[in-house]
Amino acid sequence: MADVHSLKQLVLGRQDVQDMSDLESEVPPDLMTINMGPSHPAMHGTVRIVLTVDGERIVKSDVQPGYLHRCFEKESEHATYTQVFPYTDRLNYVSPMINNVGWAMTCEKALGIYDKIPKRAEYIRTIVSEISRITDHLTCVGASAMELGAFTAFLYFLKAREWFYELLEEVSGARLTHSYVRVGGVNKDMPHGWDDKVLHGLAQTDKVMVEVEAMLNSNKIFRDRMAGIGAISREDAIATGCVGPIARAAGVDYDVRKDYPYSIYPEVEFDVPLGTTGDCLDRYLVRIEELKQSIRILRQCFKQIPPASDAVHGRFLIDDHRVALPPKHDAYNTIESMIRHFKFIMDGVKIPAGETYTFVEGGNGELGFFLVADGTGRPYKAYVRSPSFVHLSTASQIMHGHLIADIVPIFGMINMIGGECDK
Amino acid sequence: MAQKVLDALMAAHGGSISHTESQHGDEIAWVKRDDLLAVATWLKNDPAMLFDAPVFVTAIDRLDWKGWTEEQPRFEVCFQLRSVKYRYRLRLKVALPEHDPRCPSLANLWPAFNWQERETFDMYGIKFEGHPDLRRIYMYEEFVGYPLRKDYPKEKRQPLVRRDDLPINPLKREGA
Amino acid sequence: MSDTVVPPQPAAPAPLAPPAPAPNPDHVTLTIDGKSITVPKGTNVLEAAKLLGNEISAFCYHPGLPVVAQCRQCLVAVEKNPKLQPSCQQTCGEGMVVHTTDPASTLARKQMLEFTLVNHPIDCPICDKAGECTLQKLYFDADNADSRVDTQKVHKAKVVDLGPTVVLDQERCILCSRCIRACDATSGQHQLDFAHRGDHEVLTTAPGEQLDNPYSLNTVDVCPVGALTSKDFRFTMRAWELESTPSVCNGCSTGCNIEIHHRNGRAWRLIPRHNPDVNAYWMCDEGRLTYHELREHRLAGAIVDGLPAGWDRAVKVASDRLASGRAQGALSVALSATCSNEDNFALAKLAQAWGLTSVYIAAKPPVPARADGRLRTADINPNTAGVKAIAAALGLSTKPLFELDPGVKALVALGDALAGVDVGRLKEIEYVALATHERGAVPHARIALPIAAWAETGGTVTNAKGHVQRMHAAFPAPGQALAGWEAITRLSQVTGGKLAWGNAREVFNEMIAVVPGWKDLKWAREARPLALRFAGSRG
């Protein structure tokens, strides 16, 4: 018995034998405790699950995140507001632009310039956000399909994803870690002819979507592995804090873009897809529909975006010396702009004391930043409300009663992104 | 928008609320520690409130705040709530003294707070009383201290694995 | 001054009187931007506004220097006065109504900044002051507009050697005259002055002089721009990268309050910190450079008989060897006037536990030429008063270490300042050194135990006037060095003593309960390094 205890101590990380009395009382003696992860080929990200199984069936599970903890909040407390952007890139690294936009909006709200961002900048932000949402869903769905054996769908979707990564690289300079958005706007304007490339990419993606849907939607293996797996009720989804595609698959009509509209989302038309059963298949279908809605938003954005020549709305960065960097030419040639540049880089944007919680619709749902500012150029506290973390906390509950093999689609559709979950 | 939430809260539980404020459109109610559970239960169940959706839990360490003195409470635990039906948002705050950072747990009301309170405990050392499973979540069990407290230096390292084969003594290294 | 602890003294008059029912004849009440404030007579408007939380921009005004109203940067509107007034020179009057945010004075201050920047070189990337520059700060906070002047900038000398410690860049100088006044005020010698007129006016040394007084580096501190730079600090470290920890200078018995500016585990400069009771705004150059020795010839590991040893073995060997000296009654202990109160108290307690009634005091020899009646004193030990008070409180008689009794066979000595001691004699006895540096007699010690220096450990020192002042740890001690009291505690534990302190606060609390006159002192919370970058400009 002592050996079993020590083994469980080792596996569960619990301090003493008394702590395991709950296991002893609940679990019949012929159950087995096994360790899945931290690095398992079928896992999104690095996460460890301590499973108690009755044969193949999961009786109890303890999900342990933290292997990718990069001290986002601690680092942010020692960086200027602008220096936090690269850290946000690495939260949900499949859709970094949305994280950028979320952080920029948090700073702008705290600064009180929330409604002074130029229209063109808002449109560019929305465009890159929606492209990011597309890459996020393409990756999530493609990878899940691959884990269920549908390798072709994965290749098709990743092909489409690479088009968009290349487009984002063209606009920001980096394929994955864009750091493109700034407090007060974006870093630089869209390159010439970029909009046509995006529209072309969208048309190509439409074709890929048709192909992949044909491959997956009526695929018996895919449907059998997804339908009825990992279902969660509407009430449970709300109480466990689920947001985004997971909550919508369970019938919760909550989309930050509709319920607490921000940026230019009130000016574009789109629908919020809802599921009924809350299982993995509905999560898949919601994501597929969101992909189409994002494409719809993008097409409207390119029609409505004010041209750069527009004197009122055409700027890509706010015209405010306290927030925006001066042009490089001035910084090198006048002492005024040099000082401005210097203070901006070294001391940071000074945000008055106060606290604010701002949230956007990320790839996985409500992505919020809780900022406590103390009047200096760096955050006193920067908390990120990461949807992945909240969703992962429900994983234990929704895995219960399923087979070990079902962990794969459940995890795929929870879309736990290590960088965002572990911060 | 949700000033009426604060008004209703004051009307129903005025004695439990030390004060309310509104910052950048966020409504904040400061709740007395011992009454938190009663206030939260009311907010969740009252048909005019229905704060059914939990958003986040975190804490603020006021140690480095300008003007903070040892007599003031050092920690503030924030519970952000949302009402799906009415779209209200509300932040409950509980002030905790430095040497007694205990806070009632709301994990039994909103299951989402289970992990988030564990995270707050892990990072700030706030002891959530009544939490079903309060243990570290990001850091390992052997970790000493609470990394997001202001007095935990950013540069401090706590490697979990001790490497006895590495020469610690510089003289030993020279000899090798 | 929350971290400076002083013995109980008669209460000083409060600078800002509470709203009293009866008007105080020594105070005046005025209105600044609609807010009423009562200040002592003679206070200027700038200081009164500062009490209201309204910092009026200024270059030439310094609270520790005479007012000249030279920069015109602090202009404010005073009602019933047709012209704008410099708030630094305008004394508060009864019933005066001042406006600092009205269009006229705001415009005047903005235009002064624009004017000041007309000839300012674009030097920020190569300027040592960048990041803590008053000009940068005021421009960014108060003006932040583009210049309307588009002419060639006037060029002046970029490198002017003013003396052994300071270099001048005349182009950066904004002619505020702070340095001239600081030089006069701190040293009493007029070594700096202006020459020429108009936009050719430059700062230079006074005829026949160079800037070589012992307080010359204060001119660098007060310079609001990067015109004056310290030869010691320039081009070594960017100011905004530094972190600041409050401490006390250990250079002499004055105990000037300082900030240690440090990064990456080492000090880069020492800056005076305001304390009206000790050093006002100033400190001497010699004290300022004492940070260098924190990195030189440090004892980083324990040494037994000339060979490196671990702490455990070193204290074990020390214990064995001291036991034989103790048995013969030939063991003695030397406290040190260069170490903190806590270290000395710990060693004195150990001496008491060993049954000694007399201890020696090790100290650096006095330098009579240093004493100038200003900040510099002849006694270059930071804690002479403290060590004497502690020994007296514990009933130990003292004598200087150079009068070492011939019968002493074993000696535990704190510190490395063994002035006048016969080194040959120390070589013959069981000499256990608790030292920060490997210098003086320490290389001859049979056993040397490394302890942390003043910047690396929290503690208190007592200056010549009796102020017990707190030092905070800025960075970790090198190698295996422990705080002095901690090393003594370990030594005590192997020699059968009962000292068991866990931190410096416990030592302090036990000490103040014993030493007469110290019982009301409070141990301030440990100060954590403050990143200068986010603390705002020092100006």
The model's pLDDT over A139-162, given as tens digits with 9 standing for 90+, comes to: 888 888 888 888 888 899 888 999
Of C303, C281, C537, whose CA–CA distance to C437 is shortest? C303
CA atoms within 13 A on the CB side of C506: 9
CA C417, CA C339: separation in Å to the nearest integer? 10
Q: Measured between alpha carbons, how far is residue A302 from residues A116, A124, A306, C367, C427 in Å?
A: 21, 9, 9, 80, 87
CA distance C385 to B165: 49
| pTM > 0.90 | no
Q: Quote the strand ranges of C410-466, DSSP E.
A: 410-414, 430-435, 447-450, 459-462
Please list every residue in chain C whose beta carbon sits closer than 8 Å to the beta carbon of residue B150: 528
Distance CA A246, CA A402 (A): 18
Task: Write the DSSP symbol of residue B105.
Answer: -
pLDDT at residue C246 in the model: 92
* Cross-chain CB nearest to C525 (options B70, B153, B170): B70
The pLDDT of residue B170 is: 38
Nearest CA to C410 out of C342, C471, C491 is that of: C491
Model pLDDT, residue B135: 85
Please report the pLDDT score of residue C9 as a whole number: 45
Provide the total of helices (H) and of strands (E) in chain A, helices listed first: 18, 8
Q: Are A92 and A362 in contact (CB under 8 A)?
A: yes
Dihedral sign for Cα atoms in the order C84, C88, C89, C95:
positive
Could you read off the pLDDT tens digit of each residue along chain C, which spans 539 residues? 344 444 444 444 444 544 545 567 788 999 999 899 999 988 999 999 999 988 899 999 999 999 998 888 999 999 888 899 999 999 998 889 999 999 999 999 999 998 889 999 998 889 998 888 889 888 888 878 888 888 888 999 999 999 999 999 999 999 999 999 999 999 989 999 999 988 889 999 999 989 999 999 999 999 999 999 999 999 998 888 888 999 999 999 999 999 999 988 899 999 999 999 998 899 999 999 999 999 888 888 899 988 888 888 898 888 888 888 888 878 889 999 999 999 999 999 988 888 888 899 988 888 999 988 889 999 999 999 999 999 999 888 888 888 878 788 888 889 887 767 777 888 888 888 999 988 878 888 889 999 999 999 878 999 998 899 999 999 888 888 888 998 999 888 887 777 888 888 889 999 999 988 888 888 888 888 888 887 754 54
The answer to whether B157 contacts chain A (CB < 8 Å) is no
Residue C342: per-residue pLDDT: 92
**Per residue in A397-416, pLDDT tens?**
888 888 888 888 888 888 88
Interface partners of chain B (CB pairs < 8 Å, 3 or more) are A, C
The residues, any chain, with a CB within 8 Å of residue A265's CB and separated by 6 or more, are: A126, A257, A258
Res B163: pLDDT? 46
Q: Chain B to chain C, count of Cβ pairs less than 8 Å apart? A: 9
Assess contact for B88 and B113: CB atoms under 8 A: no
Q: What six digits make up the tokens of A395? A: 């994983």
The chain C residue lying nearest A377, using CA atoms, is C534
Band (pLDDT 50/70/90 cuts) for residue A315 is confident
User: Are residues C528 and B171, on separate chains, in Cβ contact within 8 Å?
Assistant: no
Across chain A, mean pLDDT equals 85
Q: What is the pLDDT of residue C13?
A: 43
| Residue A23, pLDDT score | 57
- What pLDDT score does A66 carry? 84
The model's pLDDT over B111-125, given as tens digits with 9 standing for 90+, comes to 889 999 999 999 999
DSSP state of B67: T
| CB-count burial class (<10 Å; 0-12, 13-18, 19+) for B165 | exposed
Q: Does the pLDDT value for residue A332 go beyond 80?
A: yes
- Please compute the mean of the pLDDT values over residues B92-100 and round it to a whole number: 90
| Start-end of H helices in A44-150 | 72-76, 84-89, 96-111, 119-147
Interface of A to B at Cβ within 8 Å reads 13, 15, 64-66, 69, 71, 73-75, 77-78, 109-110, 236, 238-241, 252, 254, 259-260, 354-357, 366, 368, 370, 372, 374-375, 380-381, 383, 385, 389-390, 392-394, 397, 422-423
The CA distance from C117 to C142, in Å, is 13
Cβ contact C165:C211 at 8 Å: yes
Tokens representing residue A68 in the block: 């990718």
Nearest 5°: CA angle at A413, between A408 and A417?
Answer: 95
* Alpha-carbon span B80 to B55, nearest angstrom: 5
In angstroms, what separates the C-alpha of B35 from chain A's closest C-alpha?
22
Checking if the pLDDT of B1 tops 60, the result is: no
pLDDT interval class at A43 (50, 70, 90)? low
pLDDT of A369 over the 90 cut: yes
Mean pLDDT of A272-295: 90
Q: In the beta sheet, which residues pair with residue A34?
A: A51
For B117-172, what is the HEC assignment? Answer: HHHHHHHHCCEEECCCCCCCCCCCCCCCCCCCCCCCCCCCCCCCCCCCCCCCCHHH
**Degrees (nearest 5) of the Cα angle C453, C278, C226?**
80
Instruction: Please judge whether B154 and A110 are an interchain contact, meaning their C-beta atoms are less than 8 angstroms apart.
Output: no
Measure in Å the smallest separation between the Cα of B71 and chain C Cα atoms: 12
Q: What is the distance between the alpha carbons of residues A336 and A329, in angstroms, rounded to a whole number?
A: 12
Residue B169 contacts A, CB cutoff 8 Å: no
What pLDDT shows up at residue A127?
A: 92
Q: Is A334 on the interface with C (CB under 8 A)?
A: yes
Nearest Cα neighbor of B83 from B31, B152, B8 is: B8
pLDDT at C149: 84
Cα(C218)–Cα(C225) distance, integer angstroms: 14
- Predicted confidence at residue C407, as pLDDT, reads 80
> How much of chain A, in percent, has pLDDT values that exceed 70?
92
Query: Strands C307-309 and C257-263, how do they pair?
Result: unpaired
Contact A239, A220 (CB under 8 A): no
Token pair recorded at residue C450: 């490394």
A neighbours by CB contacts (3+ pairs under 8 Å): B, C
